[in-house]
Amino acid sequence: MVMLRLLLGVEAVAFLLAALIHSGALIPGFEHHAARIAETVLAVVLLAGLAVSTLRPVATRSVGLATQGFALLGTLVGILTIVAGVGPQSAPDLVYHGLMVLLLGLGLFVATRGRAV
């Protein structure tokens, strides 16, 4: 389940980068407090999943399903906030959310198709 662990790491980094962008630390002008908090929470959950799957390889599949499912739900909530006009409205935000849905979907696919260890 090396691929699943790799995806958990990539997803966590993607959410951390988005949180840094929404904090204004990487790119000024894209600050959004609520988005930063949500992305930080999702990154922490994915990092925790990566840690658990590394320490308990037998749990990799279930941890991958749970953490990526949670992150996908959070990403879909983010899309709903954009549609409702509450979330960030920039084109990069729309592209980012679409890419994260695809990446998390890939991760869930890998988790469901993978072997137990």
The DSSP annotation for 63-116 comes to HHHHHHHHHHHHHHHHHHHHHHT-S---HHHHHHHHHHHHHHHHHHHHHHHS--
| Average pLDDT score, the chain | 94
Q: What is the pLDDT of residue 117?
A: 43
Read off the pLDDT of residues 32-76 as tens digits, 9 standing for 90 and up: 999 999 999 999 999 999 999 999 999 999 999 999 999 999 999
Average pLDDT over residues 95-99: 96
Is the distance from CB of 27 to CB of 21 less than 8 angstroms?
A: yes
Taking alpha carbons only, the member of 36, 37, 44, 34 closest to residue 13 is 44
Residue with tokens 């849905």: 101
Query: What residue ranges do the domains of the chain occupy?
Result: 2-113
Q: What is the pLDDT of residue 115?
A: 62
